[in-house]
Chain A
Amino acid sequence: MASPKTVPKDAQVMMQILKDMGVTEYEPRVINQMLEFTYRYVTTIIEDAKIYSTHAKKSSVDADDIRLAIQCRVDQSFTSPPPRDFLLDIARQKNQTPLPLIKPYTGPRLPPDRYCLTAPNYRLKSLQKKVSSSTGRITVPRLSMGAVSSRPSTPTLGTPSVQTVGTKVGTPVSLTGQRFTVQIPNSQTASVKSATPTTPTVQNVLINPSLIGSKNILITTNMVSQNSSSDSTSLKRKHEDEDDYDAL
């Protein structure tokens, strides 16, 4: 640790705080991280308070604004676990149902596919098919649509669509350019069928943060085609056609 003489004052204060809280061993970088956090927290609060006070048409920021800012931030960032009586209550509810029986011989025991992360979330278009019809067009690996799920907690979007069965392979060719629609299933859960837009339109690319459960960012695109009715809005896994896996 740097000698107290050369250490700036707030670092000294932070060292004292750590000592008071009983933290005796720490790496030297911890002080910098704590100071950064302090600075960030205080400026966030004060900025929020400034916004509240201007909203209330006050001339200067006062304690009430600060208090409100703190309260809002606490509810947002520093949540604490639910209180004990609430936990006991839901535990009681949950524990009343008897344990479900185990079905015999069902292979790997996994939840329904929509809750698993086992489905591919992309599909690569092979080059050969498009060479003939698309001239001078860069074939972009198209992202296939995943099954729409209305559960925001779903980590994945299930199965790829069945665009590629036999004759339908050629249809995406008719799209011009890199046009693809991105649809977020959760925000438009009016219908499970996500294939409603049959006309190729460019919509806003939205990424639903709830889908970003892992490091992968799942962008679902709707394979716009005239055969949208055959889009697999069902959640069953469809058999990928062997055409996709031709030796390239």
Chain B
Amino acid sequence: MAALQDGPVELDAEKETKPEILSDGTLNISGNTGNGALSSSPLTAAPAGGAPKQEDQQTLIAVLQFLKRNKLSESVDILRREAGLAEDQVDSLAADGSGGGKGDGDGGDANSLLSRVSITAAAAPQSTLTPVPVKRSEDHPDVRVVLSAYNQQGDPSLYQVYYSDLKNFIESVLDCHRAELSQLFYPLFVHMYLELVYNNNETKAKAFFDKFSGDQECYYLDDLRVLCSLSKKEHMKGNEALLDFRTSRFVLRISRDSYQLLKRHLQERHNNQIWNIIQEHLYIDIFDGMPRSKGQIDSMSGSLGGEAKREVNKAKVFYGLLKEPEIEVPLDDEDDEAENEEGKPKKKKTKKDSIGSKSKKQDPNAPQQNRIPLPELKDSDKLDKIMYLKESTKRIRLSPDNLPSVCFYTFLNAYQGLTAVDFTDDSSLLAGGFADSTVRVWTVTPKKLRKVKSAADLNLIDKESDDVLERIMDEKTASESKILHGHSGPVYGVSFSPDRNYLLSSSEDSTIRLWSLQTFTCLVGYKGHNYPVWDTQFSPFGYYFVSGGHDRVARLWATDHYQPLRIFAGHLADVTCTRFHPNSNYVATGSTDRTVRLWDVLNGNCVRIFTGHKGPIHCLAFSPNGKFLASGSTDGRVLLWDLGHGLMIGELKGHTDTIYALKFSRDGEILASGSMDNTVRLWDAMKAFDDVEMDDFTAATGHIHLPDNSQELLLGTYHSKSTPVTHLHFTRRNLLLAAGAYNSQ
């Protein structure tokens, strides 16, 4: 390949001169008439440079040509591999052979890899030939695919020409197709730019960038800025996200009609440079049906990897909730309850818990009880459940007419160091993670925080007394808040366990720590991520927890295993938010690559990919019935997703800054969102989910037309006095709690 690379360099140095054209013309003509490798050997001679190799190469190439003509593609590959021939050498001749019908200078440039020799010459004649449709021989499709080798060496100056041509073409097609084909601009632009940079054509890359970057969609602005700073090959090496972009295929969804139009155009214009890039770097998911409108496309695009392929979102997701275990709740009042909370049958009538025994048969959309191992309910868990049921009877029914009250917990004097907040489910404890690597736990109720006595004191208590559980707690050090030290970096995620015994915290020091809330000491440090861990959450049943970090994976852990149980890999950039589904069988992750993915805990597969956000996603919330997912990102929009069908069903616009907190009310009627713009907004979730109409077409193609009803769905906006909202929590009685650190600037 080295010799070949020298070739174009030499030729590029020479200006496009007449003699060159002539010589190329002669070469091509001779190639055409010769109709085979032998006559085009001077072609290879120029770049190859080594005279003694020519004869051997000639014969090899001749043989290859013969095989190709007889459609023996496999033998071609094998022979080519063994002979160690560079593909473009052969293919340049292939193009020559196939271009036999044209008989003029453009036969060379049609195939960009060939263009080593003729490219400079071809620049001039190419544009004049464009309107002439020439019957392109389709007999070497595999060659063309093979041609788009990694070191694609089209002439850099021609990239601009190709791109402008494509632009002109797309602008000239019918409106209905134009929106779809415009999707091509961005990935093509990025790939061509990266090719130029990769091949060390810095100035050309810069020129290309300057000319065409303004045409791209506005939501790609951040990416373009990053691209702009990349002007040398060395810059590319350290940038993992970019390398992934190069190797993974950007997915585009285009209707069949538009695709045919594009294909016809590219092939008739010999614009194989673009065709090659499309085939190598882009994945075009073709669907049958109406082309999409600009609005529809805009709502789904924006992610680093393009959109999601249709088959990715076809796996069955068990979004139903697990059946609640039956707990016998005594029918009578509180005073009797205290003695008999175990549910032992009393003399008085007892009533079965209505939640557990509602339906005997399995919800088809719910996973099996034993699909994933879940911890058994301990007695204390049963007590918790009874408390939960009692509280939920006192729950306020929320509706657009009956909005929740909001209680805001402001962290004063936090010096903007507050990085994570969590509430327990019964809203009795509040934990804050700070940039100074501490975790602080506060009690929200009048009951103070107590830790277990030291071993010396424990020996002295009477173990047989009834209130032994009270006695083991140390009254002397009871306080309203406790500080937990241990991390060596800012704490970015905190999560309480459902039984209020443990607290998890994840930090920039790449560890996740499990703290006991009975002794207020650190129990375990889980190491696995080698990079900052951005978020962590306990499963709704305890025992499992999920974490996501800078290394672009999310990991599922169990508290009693020092290594992760599952690794969810697939995102193209950091995983910033991880949430469990209410049935604990699925994990949703939001990432900086602007996609939300749903993973199956059982086997680690990605079952849903949702694209549409235009910025990194910072918060996720599952609806309590498990059917829907809401996600919020830096672009200030909240998107609603239907998990069963894998579609976007709503878009809530209103916030002007990053959304860091999302929570559904306890029965799923209201969605609350909190953002950096110091507001909490309430949205009508019931209405948003009711409006969804699913007909076969939308289910098949996934193109739903979203009504722009954000204004109707917005129920209220509540401003705080310069305190960005970091966390939201609905109490069991549907009171909304919010938390944030006061920002004095």
Contacts and interface: CB of A to CB of B under 8 A. Distances in A.
Partners in one complex: yes
B: interface residue count bin: 35 or more
B523 A110 contact: yes
A112 B603 CA distance: 25
Interface centre among B553, B558, B605, by most chain A C-beta atoms within 10 angstroms, is: B553
B373 A213 contact: no
Interface string A91-121: 1101101011110110011111001111000
Contacts, number: 128
A10 interface: no
Interface string A201-218: 000000000000111000
A153 interface: yes
Contacts of A20: 228-229
B49 interface: no
B572 A109 contact: no
A128 B648 CA distance: 73
A4 interface: no
B200 to A, nearest CB: 15
A154 B96 CA distance: 65
Contacts of B244: 83-84
A15 to B, nearest CB: 16
Contacts of B565: 94, 97, 99-100
Given A153-B527, A214-B525, A78 B238 contact: yes
B524 A111 contact: yes
A118 B552 contact: no
A155 interface: yes
Contacts of A105: 376, 378
B551 A117 contact: no
Contacts of B628: none
A101 B375 CA distance: 9
A227 B44 CA distance: 83
Which secondary structure characterizes the binding site on chain B? loop
Contacts of A87: 551-553, 567, 569
B463 to A, nearest CB: 15
A78 B239 CA distance: 11
Nearest to A67: B234
Contacts of A6: none
Nearest to A82: B551
A136 interface: no
B375 A110 contact: no
Contacts of B375: 102, 109
Interface residues of A, number: 44
A24 B476 CA distance: 51
A83 B603 CA distance: 22
B560 A110 contact: yes
Contact of B604 (A85, A94, A117, A153): A94
Nearest to A93: B567
B531 interface: yes
B573 to A, nearest CB: 10
B225 interface: yes
A45 to B, nearest CB: 14
Nearest to A102: B373
B522 interface: yes
B484 to A, nearest CB: 11
Interface string B513-543: 0101000011111010011000000000001
B524 A110 contact: yes
A80 interface: yes
23 contacts: A21-B225, A74-B238, A82-B551, A87-B553, A87-B567, A91-B553, A94-B564, A95-B566, A95-B567, A95-B604, A97-B565, A99-B373, A99-B565, A99-B602, A102-B375, A108-B501, A109-B559, A110-B514, A116-B524, A118-B521, A118-B523, A214-B486, A214-B488
Name the 9 nearest CB pairs between A and B, nearest first: A95-B604, A91-B569, A87-B569, A115-B562, A91-B567, A81-B551, A109-B560, A111-B562, A245-B456
Given A81-B530, A87-B551, A87-B553, 11 more contacts: A80-B239, A82-B551, A87-B567, A99-B373, A99-B601, A100-B565, A102-B373, A109-B375, A111-B559, A111-B560, A214-B488
